[in-house]
Amino acid sequence: MTGEPREKATAEAAGGEKRNNALRRARLERDLSQEEIVEDLNQLAARLYAEGCLPRAVSVSERQYRTWESPNPGYPHQATRQLLEAYFHKHASELGFKRRTSMHGSGAALMPGAFTSGTRDSGGREPWTGRSFGGHHGVHEPDRSAPLMAVAPGVAGDPTDRRTLVALTGSTALTSLIGANSASADTVRAFTRRTSHSDLAPQDVEDLELAVHRLGATYSAHSPAELWPVAARYRERAAALLEGRHTLRQGRALAHQAGMLSVVLAWLAHDLGRRDLVGALCDDAWQHGREADSPEVCAWAEDVRCTDALYDQRPLDALTAATRGLAVAPGGSNAAVRLSAQLARTQARVGNQDEFARAAGRAEVHRENIPLHGVGLFAADAVRIVSFNASSHGWLGQHRLARDAAQEAISLYESVAPGRAPTRLAIARLDLALAHAALGEPEASLPLAQQALKGDRVVQSIRDRARQLGRTLLTTYPSLPQVQAFGEEVRSLT
């Protein structure tokens, strides 16, 4: 027998030799030598592979097992790890196998190549809080692989039944649940205990929720290029936690926050002009919202998709997104209010005046129950509805109504929320400039356009609307020198 005598093994474990004592203890609890446990592992591996519970066939040698009990056991491959977890009924980390990963740097997989500016100030702090990126985020990283679920024990008469059942249920063999007369309550309790197995720290989900709140609340105060890597790192953090072991309740909470982080990233991609990413991120948010049983996440995903399609001159796609989002948005939620206004302006964009009037009427009803101006990326407010109306009237050729709505929106943004909605204010100014241009007042149009482009946060939607204004002015007033100069300015926007 190549495995050491049990008396010697017990003495060595008690003596504290530098070994993988966690795995040794798990073996000695079963009163097995290394040779015997290798035999058991190979028998269980053959069964699990035949039943489709392992991704590939696994064979364990005595030399390999001795390595696992050594001071440097390495980290087993997926199928082997699943086998060990099934046999010992413990997670790999509880058997002494450690794999260190770090959240920092992982966000690069989501970063658009052209926007990799740093996410920290000179002190290495988050842009919205001044808090260091350190702390437990870079320390607590649960293993990314959940243990294999228990497999039903074999039929009676199989010589490995006792050992296999011990492997699947713990150090004490439990009776099978299949036989009604021999079924044990302890077996049922073992199933129940599994529902609470988790590697998550208590604050993991809370940290993601706080990140979503901060990103949303301070969204307009920072450039998209600055916020992208921050949001991307949290999104990859959520992905890592979802891959690890967690309860079903925790899994739904993680999926909700993962979906919301993808919504934030979709807005950032829209503002950065990365339309190739917007659709993928919205799809990801929608899927995680479904898995989390959180229709609000799905609704917010369609809100982004609708806006991006409108500015990308895809009005029918925008109408589809608004309709789909409104269908799942919880009644009375901010997402429902926003999508009601989105539906109205998409109807205007496709030239459907009657449907616009009906949808706009429904959106107006919400104005009595929402603040004049809300704060953050996920706010619903009355001034947004007014500014949407300015765009809608312009698309429908109702230029005086567009002018009045744009002037009202600008006045509200400047008086009620100065500096808090730079993008919406710039769009309102450009809508007013478009109305002046359509009403034969180019001299009033150009100063507004130049003011809109002087802000610190000139994102893709502002550039798109400015280009629309430039085309209108050059078509209507091609000989005016100031129009030609503005046309050159718009062409140089990147």
Parse the chain into domains and list their residue ranges: 6-99+148-194, 382-494
pLDDT of residue 56: 86
Nearest to 198 by CA among 93, 275, 123: 93
DSSP assignment of 79-127, as one string?
A: HHHHHHHHHHTS-GGGGT------STTGGGGGS-TT----SS-TTSB-T
Give Dmax (Cα) for the chain. 100
Distance CA 466, CA 449 (A): 7
Give yes or no for residue 284 having a pLDDT over 70: yes
| Tokens encoding 157 | 């008469």
pLDDT of residue 191: 84
Mean pLDDT of 254-272: 98
Other C-beta atoms within 10 Å of 240: how many?
18
Distance CA 171, CA 89 (A): 8
Give yes or no for residue 147 having a pLDDT over 80: no
Q: Residue 36, class by beta-carbon neighbours within 10 Å (0-12 exposed, 13-18 middle, 19+ buried)?
A: middle
pLDDT of residue 164: 46
What are the phi and psi torsion angles at 132 (to 5°)?
-65, 150
Nearest to 227 by CA among 258, 269, 195, 188: 269
| Distances from the Cα of 477 to the Cα of 258, 323, 485, angstroms | 49, 38, 12
CATH number of 382-494: 1.25.40.10
Strand, coil or helix: what is 132? strand
**From 176-185, 226-235, 346-355, 401-410, the region with the lowest mean pLDDT:** 176-185
124 touches 189 (CB < 8 A): no
Nearest to 42 by CA among 28, 50, 156, 157: 50
Distance CA 11, CA 419 (A): 72
| Tokens encoding 44 | 């269980």
Enumerate residues 6+ apart whose C-beta is below 8 A from 213.
Answer: none
| Distances from the Cα of 93 to the Cα of 74, 88, 90, 144, 149, angstroms | 12, 12, 8, 10, 16
Give yes or no for residue 65 having a pLDDT over 60: yes
pLDDT of residue 129: 47
Confidence of residue 126 (pLDDT cuts 50, 70, 90): low
pLDDT tens, residue by residue, 346-367: 999 999 999 999 999 999 999 8
Residue where the block lists tokens 């129940």: 192
| Tokens encoding 258 | 């993962």
pLDDT of residue 127: 53
* Residues 410, 416, 422, 425, Cα dihedral to 10°: -10
Instruction: Look up residue 239 and give its amino acid.
Output: A
pLDDT of residue 47: 85
Question: How many angstroms from the chain centroid is the CA of residue 407?
Answer: 37
Confidence of residue 1 (pLDDT cuts 50, 70, 90): very low
Distance CA 94, CA 106 (A): 25
Distance CA 277, CA 112 (A): 9
* pTM exceeding the 0.95 threshold for the entire prediction: no
Distance CA 266, CA 258 (A): 12
Give yes or no for residue 102 having a pLDDT over 60: no
Calculate ∠ Cα 330-335-337, nearest 5°: 95
Nearest to 255 by CA among 214, 218, 298: 298
Give yes or no for residue 193 having a pLDDT over 80: yes
pLDDT of residue 100: 55
pLDDT of residue 368: 84
pLDDT of residue 371: 92
pLDDT tens, residue by residue, 405-432: 999 999 999 988 677 889 999 999 999 9
pLDDT of residue 323: 97
pLDDT of residue 52: 74
What are the phi and psi torsion angles at 125 (to 5°)?
-115, 160
Mean pLDDT of 104-114: 47
pLDDT tens, residue by residue, 290-324: 999 999 999 999 999 999 999 999 999 999 999 99
